[in-house]
């Protein structure tokens, strides 16, 4: 009964302070609208890592024919209907560095032009019997830009070969992938990050709940009643999780109203949402431990919020300095934030149809970081605000 009363009291306090609760609910939907107007109509650009092994051959009149170079030029010349650049090329001498760029999301697609590319095209142009030449490509189906980059690349390769030979197209396309995803706009790609932005606002409401009780002297009464600190913090956390789920739901409905369409596992998205909300509450406890007033939270507290927002990769893609490799994954500085993994997990689930089993790496990181932040936050909060005078 006491525990239920604490939950009820915390919920009433949160919604009585309608300015903070309203900001939590409306902040991310506002950014959804903003991002829609910025990116909704823009043509995406995709990065190709091209490895050309092509050897030049002698063409008509003794002029060298460099089909590989011409194909690269054709790829670079691809334009959208608005005249914008669609494909940005990075050339590599070996396939290893190109594949590394794909793994590190520095490229959306790897294209390998084989050594016999020019020779095969030239043979067909002369009417000689020759087999097809295979142009291989590699892509990561978890990368939203992969499919569209592959479509543009394949179309350009076929059109180039058709233009060279005027009829016959002796080319086999060999895409290396394990699955496919639907075409996504830049607006679609930003939606998972905006959902995590909605959760980031919980840092303010969670910290405000703790600081408010300290200001009202509730902590003194809790010490007198010998109420365990964890019981009080759990009651606060449960209310914040409910508020976070509501904020994410409202944000998603706003995105759907503006044209966002995604078929995804609701249960998987809910698991990640709850886990991410819990991690933000943990950060909120740590922030509240350092601050003493709501004014401090609204001023100094903005700093950790913007750290989360800028370095989680959902809204502002930034270079990610590597720290070390773990279980086949590259760990970067950004990975020290639970919101980085929440953004990646929701992106896989909502834009690529992944399930819980496919985001275990991200969920594992969120769980570990949540425990670390909770341990640090609770210990510091108890030491600063709950320790007997």
The pLDDT of residue 13 is: 73
| Pairing outcome for strands 57-58 and 109-113 | unpaired
In the chain, what are the domain boundaries? 2-39+185-386, 46-176
Give the pLDDT confidence score for residue 385 in this predicted structure: 67
Residue 217 is predicted with a pLDDT of 62
Whether residue 153 contacts residue 169, with contact meaning beta carbons closer than 8 Å, is answered with no
Give the whole-angstrom CA distance, residue 88 versus residue 139. 15
Average pLDDT of 65-83? 83
Is residue 47 within 8 A of residue 106, CB to CB? The reply is yes
* Banded model confidence at residue 226, pLDDT cuts 50, 70, 90: low
Q: Give me the mean pLDDT over the 82-95 stretch.
A: 83
Helix axis angle, 302-311 to 186-200, nearest 10°: 150
CA-to-CA distance for 337 and 298, rounded, in angstroms? 21
Average pLDDT of 58-69? 78
Q: What are phi and psi of 331, to 5 degrees?
A: -100, 125
**pLDDT: is 92 or 63 the higher one?**
92
CATH 3.40.50.300 for domain 46-176, yes or no, is: no
All residues at 6 or more sequence positions from 59 whose CB lies less than 8 Å from its CB, including other chains: 65, 122
How far from chain centre, in Å, is Cα 326? 20
Average pLDDT of the residues in 361-379: 92
Q: How high is the pLDDT of residue 6?
A: 73
User: pLDDT class for 180, splitting at 50, 70, 90?
Assistant: very low
Give the mean model confidence (pLDDT) for residues 119-145: 77
Residues 270-289, mean pLDDT to the nearest whole number: 93
Give me the mean pLDDT over the 339-354 stretch: 86
C-alpha Rg value of the chain to the nearest Å: 27
Instruction: Give the strand pairing for 329-332 and 87-92.
Output: unpaired
Q: What phi and psi values does residue 75 have, to the nearest 5 degrees? A: -65, -40
Instruction: Reply yes or no on whether the pLDDT at 101 is more than 90.
Output: no
pLDDT confidence of residue 148: 77
Backbone angles phi, psi at 139, to 5 degrees: -150, 155
Report percent pLDDT > 90 for the chain.
Answer: 18
Which residue stretches of the chain are H helix? Answer: 2-16, 18-39, 67-76, 95-103, 117-125, 146-165, 186-200, 202-215, 218-224, 229-257, 266-290, 294-299, 302-311, 338-352, 360-381
Q: In this predicted structure, which of 126-135, 179-188, 196-205, 227-236 has the lowest mean pLDDT?
A: 179-188
Mean of the per-residue pLDDT values of the chain: 79
pLDDT at 181 over 50: no
Buried b or exposed e, range 304-335, using 16+ CB within 10 angstroms: bbeebbebbbbbeeeebeeeeeeeeeeebebb
pLDDT > 80? residue 119: yes
Q: Is the pLDDT of residue 369 over 80?
A: yes
Identify the weakest region by mean pLDDT among 24-28, 161-165, 201-205.
161-165
Higher per-residue pLDDT: 36 or 203: 203
Q: What is the structure's pLDDT at 304?
A: 85
Does the pLDDT value for residue 330 go beyond 60? yes
Per-residue pLDDT at 179: 40
- Model confidence, pTM: 0.62
Q: Does residue 149 contact residue 189 with C-beta atoms inside 8 Å?
A: no
Is 60 exceeded by the pLDDT of residue 42? no
Task: Please state, in angstroms and rounded to a whole number, the distance separating the CA atoms of residues 350 and 359.
Answer: 12
* Three-class secondary structure of residue 185 per DSSP: coil
Residue with tokens 């016959």: 168
Please say if the pLDDT value at position 145 is more than 80.
Answer: no
Cβ pair 10, 17 in contact under 8 A: no
CA angle 320, 284, 321 (to 5 degrees): 10
pLDDT score of 177:
47
Compute the distance between CA of residue 12 and CA of residue 239 in angstroms, rounded to an integer.
10
Give pLDDT, residue 169.
54
Q: Quick check: 383 pLDDT over 60? A: yes
Comparing CA positions, the residue from 220, 221, 182, 186 lying closest to residue 314 is 186
Check: CB of residue 68 under 8 Å from CB of residue 54: yes
Q: How far apart are CA 311 and CA 246, in angstroms?
A: 24
């Amino acid at each position: 009964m006491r525990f239920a009363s604490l939950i009820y009291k915390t919920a009433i306090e949160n919604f009585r302070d309608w300015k903070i609760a309203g900001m939590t609910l409306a902040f991310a939907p506002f950014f959804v609208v903003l991002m829609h107007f910025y990116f909704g109509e823009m043509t995406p650009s995709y990065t190709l890592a091209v490895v050309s092994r092509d050897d030049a051959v002698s063409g008509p009149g003794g002029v060298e024919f460099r089909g590989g170079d011409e194909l690269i030029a054709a790829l670079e010349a691809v334009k959208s209907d608005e005249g914008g650049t669609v494909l940005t090329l990075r050339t590599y001498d070996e396939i290893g560095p190109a594949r590394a760029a794909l793994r590190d999301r520095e490229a959306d697609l790897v294209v390998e032009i084989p050594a016999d590319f020019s020779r095969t095209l030239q043979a067909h142009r002369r009417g000689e019997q020759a087999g097809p030449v295979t142009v291989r490509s590699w892509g990561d189906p978890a990368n939203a830009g992969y499919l569209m980059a592959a479509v543009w690349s394949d179309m350009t390769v076929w059109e180039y070969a058709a233009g060279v030979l005027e009829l016959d197209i002796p080319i086999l396309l060999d895409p290396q992938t394990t699955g496919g995803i639907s075409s996504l706009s830049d607006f679609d790609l930003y939606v998972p990050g905006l959902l995590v932005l909605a959760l980031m606002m919980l840092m303010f409401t969670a910290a405000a709940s703790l600081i408010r009780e300290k200001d009202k002297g509730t902590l003194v009464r809790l010490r007198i009643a010998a109420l365990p600190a964890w019981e009080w913090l759990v009651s606060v956390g449960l209310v914040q999780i409910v508020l976070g789920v509501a904020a994410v739901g409202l944000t998603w409905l706003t995105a759907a109203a503006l044209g966002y369409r995604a078929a995804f596992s609701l249960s998987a998205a809910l698991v990640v949402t709850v886990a991410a909300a819990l991690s933000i509450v943990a950060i909120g406890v740590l922030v509240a431990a350092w601050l003493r007033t709501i004014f401090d939270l609204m001023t100094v507290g903005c700093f950790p919020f913007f750290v989360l927002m800028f370095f989680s990769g959902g809204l502002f893609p930034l270079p990610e300095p590597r720290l070390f490799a773990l279980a086949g994954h590259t760990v970067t500085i950004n990975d020290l934030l639970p919101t980085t993994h929440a953004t990646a997990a929701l992106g896989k689930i909502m834009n690529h149809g992944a399930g819980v089993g496919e985001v275990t790496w991200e969920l594992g990181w969120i769980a570990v970081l949540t425990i670390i932040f909770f341990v640090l936050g609770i210990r510091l909060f108890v030491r600063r605000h709950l320790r007997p005078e």
